[in-house]
Amino acid sequence: MGNLVVVGVDGSSSSLAAVDEAVREARRRRGELRVVHAFSWPVRPMYAPLDPSPLNHLAHEAAQRARSLAPDVEVTEAVVTGDTVAVLEAESRAGDLLVVGPRGMGGFIGMLLGSTAASLAAHSQCPVMVVREEPADTGPVVVAVDGSPVGEKAIEFAFAEAALREAELLAVHAWLPDYAPPGTSPESAERLLAQAVAGRAERYPDVTVRHEVLSGETREALIETSRTAQLMVVGARGRGGFAGLLLGSVSQALLHHGHCPVTVVRGRA
């Protein structure tokens, strides 16, 4: 697991919560933190130039907040012109974790998830952590297992994250009896979980792992499980997704309705 954490800021309370969590992530990794504010100039008459100093101040304030929380973490800051998703996607190419809030200053009142967070989860080159304003400090790291290749990356990330947090890892698989393929059973779901986490004990000897087969519709079961988790980890798209779809319905549901921070793993784990 790498050591550069990137956090996107826009001055909202949501993004400040993201800064706080990003600081904790950088400290756990003994890594660096990069605070980025992206903006696009609105169309203005040529005779009315815009002053960029408030934007620089916004990024600097967020970086100073990070430095005050963790003086031992190296913090850099940048204000970058461009579409927010494009800028942060570019930043994700060098980053090892991208942290954002669920909804920024531009979101509609009542919207649970902004378009920036959802788009980044679909396009980022590294895992994206979407932080609630009051993240949990206790409970297990939960990883959703479905046997897909992207799910393997999510499992690897979850193990590493549980080790960093000194937390228990709970591997879960949702099974709905009425809609399960012929020949499947709770026992086959248990085997899927056991196979998914096998082979990682040597690399993560201090991580305690539990398996749990959840009975119910996948999205509802995982959202309910997130109530007692400190972090939920999912792949960007599982086995049931349509080809070409970058973010699956399960990932989107958790980003919208999860009760704890959610990390979507699409790129490097």
Q: Which domain holds residue 258?
A: 141-265
- Whether residue 135 lies inside any domain: the answer is no
Per-10-residue mean pLDDT of the chain, 269 residues long, equals: 87 90 96 91 55 75 96 95 91 95 52 65 92 83 87 93 97 75 70 87 92 89 94 76 52 89 83
Residues 204 and 90 reside in one and the same domain = no
What's the number of domains the chain is made of?
Answer: 2
What's residue 158's pLDDT? 97
- Whether residue 23 lies inside any domain: the answer is yes
CB-CB contact of 108 with 81 (8 Å): no
What's residue 105's pLDDT? 42
- Whether residue 65 lies inside any domain: the answer is yes
What's residue 260's pLDDT? 94
Residues 126 and 160 reside in one and the same domain = no
What's residue 106's pLDDT? 44
What's residue 76's pLDDT? 97
Alpha carbon of 70 to those of 24, 97, 101, 262: distances in Å? 8, 18, 20, 23
Q: Taking the model in full, what pTM does it have?
A: 0.86
- Whether residue 117 lies inside any domain: the answer is yes
Residues 100 and 62 reside in one and the same domain = yes
Give the CA angle between residues 10, 31, 82 to the nearest 5°.
30
Q: What is the CATH number of the domain that holds 188?
A: 3.40.50.12370
Final residue of a structural domain among 75, 104, 130: 130
Residues 145 and 253 reside in one and the same domain = yes
What's residue 42's pLDDT? 57
Final residue of a structural domain among 85, 105, 130: 130
Residues 118 and 158 reside in one and the same domain = no
Residues 152 and 247 reside in one and the same domain = yes
What's residue 206's pLDDT? 95
252: closest CA among 122, 131, 145, 149?
A: 122
